[in-house]
Homo-oligomer: A and B are copies of this chain.
Amino acid sequence: MSFQLTILGSGAALPTAFRKPTSQYINCNERHILIDCGEGTQSQIRIAGIKLQKITHILISHLHGDHYFGLVGLLSTMHLLGRDQGVTIYGPEELEHIVRLQLEVGHAKLGFSLEFVSLNGKELRLLFEDKSLEIHTFPLKHKIPTNGFIIKEKPKERSIIGEELRESGVSLMAVPYFRRGEDFISEEGETFYADDFTYAPKPSKSYAFCSDTIYTESIVPYIKGVDVLYHEATFTEKEADRAKATMHSTAKQAATIAQKAGVGRLLLGHLSARFDGVEAHLKEARPVFENVVVVSDFDVVEI
C-alpha cells in the first residue's frame, strides 16, 4: 500500500530548461493517475521511469496549453506501444473534440478505448471510486473554467493480530467482521471484540491539486484537512498585481489557503519562468504556513 506523487512538470506557461509545464503522476495503492499533461509529459514520464501503460485515469484541470498540449502525443505513444487497456480522461468538454479531431486527421485508430468525462469547473463531484480510493473534482477560479482535484484513500481495514486469533480459537468467520472493526458473536453466543484481535488501520491519506487559480477562499471547504495540498504559486507578492490580473496566486496567498484549510503539508509549483530560485517563494510562504516546499521536476512526495 502506497500513495506517492511524482512531479513531472513544475513550471508555468513558459517551459524552462528545468521546469516543464504542469503534470503530476500519482500511484495510489496501484491506481495510476496522471494529473494534467503539458507538452513533453511523455518524455518526463520516461525519464522518471514511470510505466506509461499503467496509467488508466487522466485528469485535465483546464484548457490552457501548458496543462494539456502533451495529451494527444501521450495517447499516440500508448497506442504505438501496443496498449489495449482503456483510458478515462476527465476534463473540460471541448477536450474530447480536440483529441478526437487530431487522431482523426492523422487516421489514427487507437487500439484502446478512450472514455471522456466532461467537467465544467463549477461543482464538487465524485468522479471515480473503487474499494481503495476516491477522486473528486471541485471548482477553481481562473480565466477559463478550471477544475481542482482531490484524491483520497478510503478508510482502510483493520489488521488482524494473527497470534491472538489462533490462541482464542475464535472461528475464522470472525475475520471479515474484525477487519471492518465489528465485534463477532459466535454460534454459542459468545462475543469477541474487534479491538482485541486487530490493530487500528493505517490512516487514510488525501491529496488536493490546485493547478491555476486566483486567491479564493471559496476553495477552502473542499480541501479542508487534506494531508498534502499542491497549490500554484506562479508569482510572489512583488507581482501581486500581475497575479490578480492573470488570475494566478502568489506564494503567500497559497500559504494562506493552506493555513485556512488546515492541511498537513503544502507544495508550491507552477513558478513563472522569471524565477531562477525558490527562496523568494519560501520566504513569504513560511511565516504563514511553515510546512511548505517548492517542488521541482521529478520530486517524489509520499502522501
Contact = CB atoms under 8 A, between A and B. Distances in A.
A80 interface: yes
Contacts of A102: 63, 65, 69, 98
A64 to B, nearest CB: 5
A69 B64 contact: no
Interface in A4-29: 13-15, 17
A283 to B, nearest CB: 26
Interface stretch (A36-44, A156-164, A167-175, A287-295): A36-44
A107 interface: yes
A185 interface: no
Contacts of A80: 13-14
Contacts of A17: 46-47
A106 B64 contact: yes
Interface stretch (A70-78, A119-127, A230-238, A248-256): A70-78
B73 A69 contact: yes
Contacts of A39: 39-40, 42, 69-70, 73
A81 interface: yes
Given A43-B15, A73-B39, A98 B92 contact: no
B144 A63 contact: no
A66 B80 CA distance: 12
Contacts of A98: 98, 101-102, 105
Number of copies of this kind of chain in the complex = 2
Interface in A95-120: 97-98, 101-102, 105-108
Contacts of A108: 64-65
Given A14-B77, A73-B69, A77-B14, A63 B143 contact: no
A94 interface: yes
A300 B80 CA distance: 30
Contacts of A70: 39
A68 B17 CA distance: 21
Q: Report which residue of A13, A42, A64, A73 has the largest number of chain B beta carbons within 10 angstroms of its beta carbon.
A: A73
Nearest to A63: B105
A29 to B, nearest CB: 30
Nearest to A273: B80
A46 to B, nearest CB: 7
Interface string A226-248: 00000000000000000000000
6 contacts: A15-B77, A65-B73, A65-B102, A92-B105, A105-B144, A107-B143
Given A15-B77, A65-B106, A69-B76, 18 more contacts: A13-B77, A14-B77, A39-B70, A63-B105, A64-B106, A64-B108, A65-B73, A65-B76, A65-B108, A69-B102, A92-B105, A97-B101, A98-B98, A98-B101, A98-B105, A106-B144, A107-B143, A107-B144
